Chain A
């Protein structure tokens, strides 16, 4: 502690008020290649922190000091220029677009930044153009797919409103600590959890052996309007994220929203109109009297014949999933300001309906980002965002009462009659529930009111040629109030089968997260400005308070959806609170952009651990060398950088794992207390990750081709794993720090401007990555987790193997109860994406993003349901050549329909690949994630038509997931996941709905 106080005093000691040298006012204009003024360009005086930015016309004025002043012009997306002022007082600068991203500024610490060209880590950045420039995503995380090397992003389903599972560089937790990265928006640590709403109790999905919640809700990043985002930086591993300490094991995603750039007030309006439809259907097998006689109930033959004769034979899958959704997004932004105050205001409405009637997602968002310079040494900024979202997520996924249409449709035969009669009564479905009645009457609605408030105050205490000292205070608040309603009306067939008919649950969630950070940053130029030193020191505090209440009512009068009016109740109140504190120190050094080194350390403590006052330390260090500045390289090599970084982070146990609570139970009018089956362990330490990352970046042909190649070795120690005890002891598990694992992988990103001339430019960006995980220490019994039992496949935690390995029946040695058949790994062998952007005829831009995922394992129960129901599209075919026991039939007479043969664990085929059956499958896919074509109306034409009233018009068409190629035949789409963001066990396909393609028309007008 004393040492840190001393460092603070050191800052003070370094104060040097210095004398200003001769001053001269230089003015000028910065333009782009087309001659139009470029607003927002940074103009800095070399060797100092003095500078300004250009106004909306591209004009600037700056005080040039020193004997031979040199101005540096930099702007994201353009090549940085350095211009000696000489004797001139006016300058005309033309910036050229830089297709490489070397000049962009990337976060290097909690209070400091570094130019990408000097960065020692592979930090992925997603710009606004990458995020929303091609097509409008529903949610921010959805737009990450295929754009980030090292990220495995899985869409949990196709319901409007999103729901994604995002993992960087393999497995960083086995389920106890956060499996999802930490999201920070304008300095505010935001909540990205999935709120429970009781849907999996309504359809009894949480009755089986699977322990994880199956409400299938969206993760709350969905509340953030992607259109507000200026830039996203992704710290994928511990080496880059170390300064974030205990919350950073799964990576950190830093989101910066747009801010006012000053100058003339600019009004922009944008509108998307579009639709969505199913990518493919799954069922459709024909029904014949013979099929009924052979495998189902012959007593249905008259009904089948009647339906075929009178034309009521209906494809119920298309009846439910064959609809089209609508997309209507509107946004209006106003930005501007003057030298002292700048603002960005954006209001937007996103409104999508799903392919299924009565599903949809609406988000109403208003944001105001305001920056104000109080004096020349003190500025403040706030970022305020209110969001209201409304999500009808329908009924898909696992189920134990046939309520979910994803579960009842596989069994619903085309000759059943399900359409309501003239009085609106829905006929009973022999399967157990009428999917049309669920679609039309059941409610699964979630509403969120959310307020994000960020602030920053910067005091520049020292600003002179050699030294600057800034003290910064920033932080903010994420306040979230959610309201969810689940309603299964009394008249539903499934409710009529219950003792208390009708089900309603009203859930309220309140989540408050705050964080505050105070830091001091000292920069000092030494050795004749050859060495730039940056020291930062600070502390952070973050806290979470969450309350959730629900009342669940069963036994409702017809038409009543208020659970408080029911005859039988269940209710709960759940409280959560935790506080973390941290301190950090970091020293960065840059020797003439030749060697860039940095070391740092973070200390953290938290109430989530039994000893809340114990500090845990997380060191880091990195080094980058720009070889091209050291030695003379062949002409075509414009940049060559070698880099290496090391860091440590940690993951914390979830709230509640310190406690072994006694639960209250009731019996026969009495109440009592009993323990749970989980036993707390007070000796739990945080999970710690260490990562060593190294790589080479190079630019060729004047950076027309740039490449980033990264290798990493991320080791996670002391993973918190349930020590699975023998359950007949009454304890099923306790936490232990008994597992270590390693992730090794490679990430390659290349950007190449293949064609660049005045008529056409063609930019391609291939990204390739893979990750391998292996458990290197396991001091607890091996165990199976996730899924629905070994028949369909489960995740095996075993030493020496990948934690995402999937195993299942049959046993390779019938006498050995744990000799499972191995079905591959949930993690893909590799992923590859190809982004391209073609600009042609001056004003047209075409872009397309392909994403390929190679050979990963999916636990699918989707096909099991369709096969049992007799409706799989190839059910009637005998192409598998298998008998009713699932084995290859030696006698052709014993060959049965595929739909029967597959109702067995068929294990691995003779080719070593999983045979079609109950068992898991290995699959690959190629998706056209995003595609678009835009036309920018030429400025001259606008001038002619509208005078000066309209400055820019851009129109276009786009789509996402428009095309897909896959060998997956065990369900609608290999990306479906019943278990949401589980660290292990996501990627189970059951009761799913079709994958959806979205397409839309865009218009954007700048006034």
Chain B
């Protein structure tokens, strides 16, 4: 009996002793961690990060273009499962700082963070050359500026937080003017870094950037975004300097420019701007009914399958459905030659003594290319601006400009509204997302 007891107890104690050994920690079996690039990142690691930076430039693209397009009443999202696109974004119901469409602001946080991670990693590595470092920095700062610019377009007078390196100590939102200046600063820093980046990039670029695959060529893209910032700042002198540094080509393809590439096979994803079973992007009658006869840009929409009706929460009908994107792999141009030519016309109109001949010459490039007669020479600055805004409406349709353009020329009230009861309103900006408000409320 006693032996039996002692044996069982001995086994019990033995198991117990085994048990008291230390447990092994479990490393993440599914992925590498953010910490792996914090110090002495290799060239391969930095290349991975910078490729994702190109990828992240597509973050929130559809939400942004569709929200901003809806706000500017150039397009509507006839979404069969979500009526808030039509009601809340069109001022028919209170705007909601907690709803899905705040992704048009918040979706640009991650590309900014990616850029900051690259900048920090480059700072703490000795495994790449100084020229390579300059290339990584230049690309990161360019995309950082672009992401901030989208964010600011939606937030407008609310401004953006220009310093978010420490996500737990972000800066307070800057004023609109300070925000623009800050964005210009990121872009200008990027341009300087690209100048120091040597002749080639240390990484391969995605197909959409094939024509912008060296530091010098990429800088033309950087300067084009900086040009947008400059005209928002109404710094026409700076704009005039910048325009020459972009890829503007008055005789080249109007659609030339760096583009987002898409592929539906994971880990990539397909073009998010396609119409789907439940998302029907439509152009408004108020825009396409009044397009000049023969304008080739009418092909951006189709009347096939129309008319298109929306009856949830409000009643809207239109003849035109978006026809810009038809395949999953179709690229989306970030900024195109056509926009640069239109900006060049705008610079000419904004000179102390407006150069109307130049405005007409540049707008005619666009008009003739689209099958329209040339323009009557404008005689006043206001005529010239209206002519530019009209060409911008059709040339840059579904590219997120109409609302911003009408806002910067204080013409929000002139935006044509569809006939609904009650009448829609054009919001000037979206509210700050509720998480942003809550953060500042508890971190004064």
- Residues of chain A touching chain B, judged by Cβ–Cβ distance below 8 Å, are 1, 4-5, 8, 11-12, 15, 17, 204, 207-209, 295-297, 299, 377, 399-402, 407, 411, 431-433, 459, 461-462, 469, 471, 493-500, 518, 520, 539, 541, 554, 568-571, 573-579, 581, 583, 605-607, 612-613, 656, 658-675, 677, 679-680, 724-732, 734, 780-784, 788-791, 794, 809-811, 817-818, 868-870, 884-885, 903-905
Of B20, B207, B264, B315, which is within 8 A of A668 by CB? B207
In the complex, are the beta carbons of A432 and B80 less than 8 A apart? yes
Contacts of A573 in B (CB 8 A): 30
Most buried by A among B16, B56, B164: B16
Of B13, B164, B276, B440, which is within 8 A of A497 by CB? B276
In the complex, are the beta carbons of B9 and A12 less than 8 A apart? yes
In the complex, are the beta carbons of B29 and A577 less than 8 A apart? yes
Of B4, B56, B317, B439, which is within 8 A of A725 by CB? B439
CB distance from B430 to the nearest CB of A (A): 12
B382 within 8 A of A: no
In the complex, are the beta carbons of B28 and A661 less than 8 A apart? yes
Of B168, B277, B440, which is within 8 A of A494 by CB? B277
Q: A612-B25, A728-B109, A810-B94 are in contact. Are A668 and B209 (CB under 8 A)?
A: yes
CA distance A732 to B108 in the complex (A): 12
CA distance A885 to B54 in the complex (A): 45
CA distance A173 to B103 in the complex (A): 28
CA distance A495 to B268 in the complex (A): 21
B37 within 8 A of A: yes
Q: Chain A interface secondary structure, helix, strand, loop or mixed?
A: mixed
Chosen A-B contacts, 18 in total, with CB atoms closer than 8 Å, are A4-B16, A15-B5, A377-B4, A401-B276, A402-B278, A461-B8, A495-B277, A518-B15, A661-B30, A664-B267, A666-B55, A667-B58, A672-B48, A679-B167, A728-B170, A729-B113, A784-B98, A811-B94
Contacts of B442 in A (CB 8 A): 780-782
Identify the stretch in B223-231, B237-245, B305-313 within 8 Å (CB) of chain A at 4 or more residues: B305-313
Of A571, A724, A789, which is within 8 A of B99 by CB? A789
In the complex, are the beta carbons of B84 and A727 less than 8 A apart? no
CA distance A789 to B94 in the complex (A): 12
Of B55, B93, B109, which is within 8 A of A727 by CB? B109
Closest to A670 in B: B51
Of B48, B98, B422, which is within 8 A of A671 by CB? B48
CB distance from B325 to the nearest CB of A (A): 9
Which residues, 1 to 45 on B, are CB-close (under 8 Å) to A?
A: 1-2, 4-6, 8-9, 12-13, 15-16, 19-20, 22-26, 28-37, 45
CA distance A303 to B277 in the complex (A): 23
Contacts of B116 in A (CB 8 A): 730
In the complex, are the beta carbons of B438 and A661 less than 8 A apart? no
Of B88, B311, B440, B441, which is within 8 A of A791 by CB? B88
Contacts of A570 in B (CB 8 A): 265-266
CB distance from A577 to the nearest CB of B (A): 6
B338 within 8 A of A: no
In the complex, are the beta carbons of B432 and A12 less than 8 A apart? no
In the complex, are the beta carbons of B436 and A575 less than 8 A apart? no
- Residues of chain B touching chain A, judged by Cβ–Cβ distance below 8 Å, are 1-2, 4-6, 8-9, 12-13, 15-16, 19-20, 22-26, 28-37, 45, 47-56, 58, 80-84, 87-88, 93-94, 96-100, 102-103, 105-106, 108-114, 116-117, 151, 160-161, 164, 167-168, 170, 204-209, 260-261, 263-268, 270-271, 274-278, 309, 311-313, 315, 317, 327-328, 421-422, 431-443
Contacts of A299 in B (CB 8 A): 309
Closest 4 CB pairs of A and B: A668-B206, A730-B113, A672-B51, A668-B261
CA distance A689 to B427 in the complex (A): 48
In the complex, are the beta carbons of A781 and B443 less than 8 A apart? yes
Contacts of A904 in B (CB 8 A): 93
In the complex, are the beta carbons of A674 and B8 less than 8 A apart? no
CA distance A236 to B111 in the complex (A): 46
CA distance A986 to B97 in the complex (A): 22
Contacts of A5 in B (CB 8 A): 13, 16
Contacts of B435 in A (CB 8 A): 724-727, 732, 781, 783
Q: A8-B9, A432-B277 are in contact. Are A729 and B309 (CB under 8 A)?
A: no
Closest to B102 in A: A209
Of A432, A673, A727, A868, which is within 8 A of B278 by CB? A432
CB distance from A545 to the nearest CB of B (A): 10
In the complex, are the beta carbons of B80 and A518 less than 8 A apart? no
Contacts of A583 in B (CB 8 A): 19
In the complex, are the beta carbons of B206 and A728 less than 8 A apart? no
CB distance from A400 to the nearest CB of B (A): 5
Q: A461-B4, A576-B29, A670-B206 are in contact. Are A727 and B436 (CB under 8 A)?
A: yes
CB distance from A342 to the nearest CB of B (A): 24
In the complex, are the beta carbons of A607 and B26 less than 8 A apart? yes
Given contacts A541-B19, A668-B206, 11 further A-B contacts (CB under 8 A): A8-B16, A12-B9, A500-B264, A569-B266, A666-B268, A670-B206, A672-B55, A675-B113, A725-B167, A780-B442, A784-B98
Of B13, B33, B270, which is within 8 A of A499 by CB? B270
Q: A569-B266, A672-B51 are in contact. Are A782 and B205 (CB under 8 A)?
A: no
Contacts of B205 in A (CB 8 A): 668, 670
CB distance from A647 to the nearest CB of B (A): 23
Contacts of A613 in B (CB 8 A): 22-23
CB distance from A863 to the nearest CB of B (A): 13
In the complex, are the beta carbons of B93 and A905 less than 8 A apart? yes
CA distance A581 to B16 in the complex (A): 11
Most buried by A among B23, B161, B209: B23
Contacts of B35 in A (CB 8 A): 660
CB distance from A259 to the nearest CB of B (A): 24
Of A377, A400, A577, A674, which is within 8 A of B82 by CB? A400
Contacts of B109 in A (CB 8 A): 677, 727-732
CB distance from A910 to the nearest CB of B (A): 20
In the complex, are the beta carbons of B32 and A661 less than 8 A apart? yes
Closest to B172 in A: A726
In the complex, are the beta carbons of B170 and A726 less than 8 A apart? yes
Contacts of B437 in A (CB 8 A): 817-818
CA distance A782 to B26 in the complex (A): 33
Closest to B325 in A: A499
In the complex, are the beta carbons of A400 and B167 less than 8 A apart? no
In the complex, are the beta carbons of A818 and B438 less than 8 A apart? yes
CB distance from A967 to the nearest CB of B (A): 26
In the complex, are the beta carbons of B5 and A12 less than 8 A apart? yes
In the complex, are the beta carbons of B23 and A673 less than 8 A apart? no
In the complex, are the beta carbons of A726 and B52 less than 8 A apart? no
In the complex, are the beta carbons of B81 and A731 less than 8 A apart? no
Of B56, B81, B84, B439, which is within 8 A of A399 by CB? B81
CA distance A782 to B442 in the complex (A): 8
Contacts of A658 in B (CB 8 A): 28
In the complex, are the beta carbons of A727 and B94 less than 8 A apart? no
In the complex, are the beta carbons of A868 and B312 less than 8 A apart? yes
Contacts of B8 in A (CB 8 A): 459, 461, 471
Q: A497-B275, A729-B113 are in contact. Are A790 and B81 (CB under 8 A)?
A: no
CA distance A1 to B21 in the complex (A): 11
CA distance A297 to B309 in the complex (A): 8
In the complex, are the beta carbons of A498 and B15 less than 8 A apart? no
In the complex, are the beta carbons of B81 and A402 less than 8 A apart? yes
In the complex, are the beta carbons of A665 and B52 less than 8 A apart? yes
In the complex, are the beta carbons of B98 and A789 less than 8 A apart? yes
In the complex, are the beta carbons of B168 and A725 less than 8 A apart? yes
Most buried by A among B6, B51, B111, B167: B167
CB distance from B319 to the nearest CB of A (A): 13
Closest to A571 in B: B266
In the complex, are the beta carbons of B312 and A499 less than 8 A apart? no
In the complex, are the beta carbons of B110 and A674 less than 8 A apart? yes
In the complex, are the beta carbons of A17 and B1 less than 8 A apart? yes
CA distance A727 to B436 in the complex (A): 7
Of A12, A554, A730, which is within 8 A of B114 by CB? A730
Contacts of B83 in A (CB 8 A): 868
In the complex, are the beta carbons of B49 and A673 less than 8 A apart? yes
CB distance from A410 to the nearest CB of B (A): 10
